[in-house]
Amino acid sequence: MALENLRETLDAAQAMMGERLGAFRPEVGLILGSGLGPLAERIADPIFIPFGEVPGMGVSTANGHVGRFVAGELGGKRVLAMQGRLHGYEGYTAQEVAFPVWLMARLGAATLVTTNAAGAINESFRVGDFCIMTDQLNFTGRNPVTGTEPDAMAPRFFSMLDAYDPSLRQLARQTAEALAIPVQEGVYLGLLGPSFETPAEIRMFRAWGADTVAMSVCEEVIAARHVGLRVLGISLVSNMACGVEGASPSDEEVHEVAQTREADFCRLLEGILQAM
């Protein structure tokens, strides 16, 4: 289902955010996923705007998602960070999930860095690894660009070749190497959720070429590419996917692992921003 009066709602959201941000114009949009929100506390001279105050925005209900924009400087860049995100499993439509990405683009961001916690399908990955997304499999069954209103914002048909920008991926690898933070690379598969995957589904996803799996990101990336944003995606491997090495994922495990990797995650993301 589409968001009613999408462009009018984006106009209202842009006007409201513009008033709150004043002369601030973001260079980079940053989405902080499950357990990764503490990075926003490092943003200098922050401006806080709760999602619920923005016309058209939903409110985060996911565990650990603060549910606010944080604008300011991080890694020498002007960033507009989402401390938490919206998910389809919370009851939001694909366009409602994508809405803040379109809004960031309107406010001036030319690049989107999206992060999340994910399960490892690739058995060579380990819990606690960071993984640079090389491509995605959208298995949510949804696309935010369906309908007529997104077609008026940007062309309806657009290429998803190199959806995750190759130069940004290279920059992330080089930054990780310079900081002595090991990283993996792989294809990300996004699901609607909220139930975790079955072992049979994980075996199928592995056969499709997926390396990691979670319940976010894909609709955001489609929306970003729709309006021409460059995209970098980074996952924290918070668990082995269901059935891999006998794993049975839980929400608690995701947040526990994120706490142990917080320092390196902050170093990595700030280093990437500095190198952009």
Distance CA 33, CA 63 (A): 10
Residue 197 among known ligand-binding residues? yes
Residue 117 labeled ligand binder: yes
The answer on whether 226 is annotated among ligand-binding residues is no
Q: Which residue has the tokens 């409602």?
A: 96
179 Cβ neighbours under 8 A, 6+ residues apart: 264, 267, 268, 271
Distance CA 69, CA 212 (A): 27
| Distance in Å from the first CA to the final CA of the chain | 36
Token output for 76: 């020498």
Is 63 within any annotated ligand binding site? Answer: no
Who's near 165: CB < 8 A, 6+ residues apart?
Answer: 230, 231, 232
65 is in an annotated binding site: yes
Question: According to the annotation, is 239 in a ligand binding site?
Answer: yes
Q: Do the annotations mark residue 86 as ligand-binding?
A: yes
Rg (CA), the chain: 17
Which residue ranges make up the annotated binding site for phosphate?
34, 65, 85-87, 117, 216
Binding-site residues, please?
34, 65, 85-87, 117, 197, 216, 239
Residues annotated as binding site for a purine D-ribonucleoside?
197, 239
